[in-house]
Chain A
Amino acid sequence: SQQGEEDPQALSIQEGENATMNCSYKTSINNLQWYRQNSGRGLVHLILIRSNEREKHSGRLRVTLDTSKKSSSLLITASRAADTASYFCATWANSGYALNFGKGTSLLVTP
């Protein structure tokens, strides 16, 4: 069962612009993670934000979390063509062992 849903489904921007992706989830969480997937490859873990954190930074990535709205956003600043990928949010399933992933946002960054 999928917990998170990303929005928008697809996003197209030019290099240098910022890209913002949103994730909404349904139940309470301890943490939320973001992953990137380059075309035809596996997913790569980007960043984790805990439920008691509101914002977290890692390089050009900024993640926010609003537990009252059950939503998170991923901001990529000064986008590059190499950022072209799909981005997924993930939260823990009820089992506590496995992650549920959203359907992802497909980001295209054009030169």
Chain B
Amino acid sequence: DVKVTQSLRYLVKRTGEKVFLECVQDMDHENMFWYRQDPGLGLRLIYFSYDVKMKEKGDIPEGYSVSREKKERFSLILESASTNQTSMYLCASRSGGSYGYTFGSGTRLTVV
């Protein structure tokens, strides 16, 4: 079964800490995405990558960076976590030849 894996379901960090959220897919998909989901705001695109070492800003990239050194792995980095980054973070991937996304289970990050 094809998978997008976000290994951390829950994470608690302190304000100012550096946070790494990892996403791994086993489907050889070219495109990978990071969204955050907040009540009343829906899903908002943070960053996406359409190839290894390529990245594009989404709608809300401020305070975040990403890394894609290998095709299967797309990392989201919070350089200095703040309380307003408390959220559910969802990773997704897509083959260049298809339309649908495959999502991971999400990481619920709490910044205290």
Given contacts A40-B88, A48-B100, 12 further A-B contacts (CB under 8 A): A1-B59, A2-B42, A33-B100, A40-B106, A42-B90, A42-B104, A43-B103, A44-B103, A45-B102, A97-B56, A101-B35, A101-B42
Judged by a CB distance under 8 angstroms, whether A31 is at the interface is yes
Interface size on A, residues (CB 8 A): 24
Chain A: CB-nearest residue to B88: A40
Report A-chain residues with C-beta under 8 Å of the C-beta of B105.
41-42
Where the two chains meet, the residues of A that have a C-beta atom closer than 8 Å to any C-beta of B are 1-2, 31, 33, 35, 40-45, 48, 88, 90, 93, 95, 97-104
Interface size class, chain B = 20 to 34
Does B106 lie within 8 Å of A41, measured CB to CB? yes
Judged by a CB distance under 8 angstroms, whether B74 is at the interface is no
Evaluate whether A98 and B99 lie within 8 angstroms (CB atoms) in the complex, with A40-B108, A41-B105, A42-B106 already known: no
Does A43 lie within 8 Å of B41, measured CB to CB? no
Report A-chain residues with C-beta under 8 Å of the C-beta of B56.
95, 97
Residue among A31, A41, A88, A90 facing the most chain B CB atoms (10 A cut-off): A41
Judged by a CB distance under 8 angstroms, whether B61 is at the interface is no
Q: What distance in Å separates the Cβ of B1 from its nearest Cβ neighbour in chain A?
A: 13
Separation of A66 and B92 alpha carbons in the complex (Å): 28
Q: What distance in Å separates the Cβ of B18 from its nearest Cβ neighbour in chain A?
A: 24
Separation of A103 and B41 alpha carbons in the complex (Å): 6
Q: What distance in Å separates the Cβ of B7 from its nearest Cβ neighbour in chain A?
A: 13
Evaluate whether A102 and B42 lie within 8 angstroms (CB atoms) in the complex, with A31-B99, A33-B100 already known: yes
Does A101 lie within 8 Å of B43, measured CB to CB? yes
Does A88 lie within 8 Å of B43, measured CB to CB? yes
Judged by a CB distance under 8 angstroms, whether B31 is at the interface is yes
Separation of A42 and B41 alpha carbons in the complex (Å): 16
Evaluate whether A98 and B42 lie within 8 angstroms (CB atoms) in the complex, with A41-B105, A42-B4 already known: no
Separation of A45 and B93 alpha carbons in the complex (Å): 12
Separation of A31 and B101 alpha carbons in the complex (Å): 14
Chain A: CB-nearest residue to B47: A98
